[in-house]
Amino acid sequence: MRPTMFVALFALIVGCGGPDTQLQPAVVEWMEWPAEVLQNTPFTVRLVVWQQGCGFGAFRPGVSADQSAVTFSPYFLLDKKNIICEPAVQVTAIAFLALDTSGTAPGLAAPYARTFDMRAASVVATPSSAADPAIRTFGTVVVRPASPDSSRTDAAGTVYTSVDSAGCARIRPLGLYSPTSYRVLDNPADTTGLNGAFVRGYIYQPAAPICGETRVFHLVARN
């Protein structure tokens, strides 16, 4: 989905809001989804999105799908009585706190094994650019007519890293701070320059625990 298509979609969503509500676009900072799924079967996608700083409301994942991709264009539905800043700054005022949530992707038709892109409204630099989010490809999902492999979860997004005294490297999605937000990185030699970087990889169960964890992240690429 091109950025202009996102604008058109958002305009359509705004038209659905009532007189006492306002829609605030959100951006996806992190996404996790099954590497393979069964055709015509909805699947759950983890989304870490920036919450708006001007109020709090109901989250909507804004998911759509076509013959080539699943796209999340999330937004918040605000009650105007709860908006806490001026209208002129509502789109760009972002709290440095992310919402860890999920969305359901629709079932995808595939008479034979094929891939679909996984896309979402995102920003390349800072969350202050959320007023004009672009649609970014986070990765792909393989859709099979039968017997998908469920052992791997693909993941991508903007991360920060930490390395403890034992040399264990961990990443966490941008905007999440709780200890449970961290995931052990199985190739810690690649941590240089990862802070604030957009990365792609997958989560899997290694043959033996790494740094005491049985589910770890393998880095495939960084942007």
Q: Which of the listed ranges 41-55, 85-99, 116-130, 154-168 does the model predict with the highest average pLDDT?
A: 154-168
In the predicted structure, residue 170 carries a pLDDT above the cut 70:
yes
- State both tokens at 100: 């860890």
What average pLDDT does the segment 152-165 reach?
Answer: 94
Residues 68, 65: Cα–Cα separation, whole Å: 8
What average pLDDT does the segment 17-25 reach?
Answer: 72
What pLDDT sits at residue 190?
66
Better-scored residue on pLDDT, 96 or 130: 96
In the predicted structure, residue 95 carries a pLDDT above the cut 60:
no
Q: In the chain, what are the domain boundaries? A: 3-147, 154-222
In the predicted structure, residue 53 carries a pLDDT above the cut 70:
no
Does the model's pTM come out above 0.95? no
118 pLDDT tier (thresholds 50, 70, 90): very high
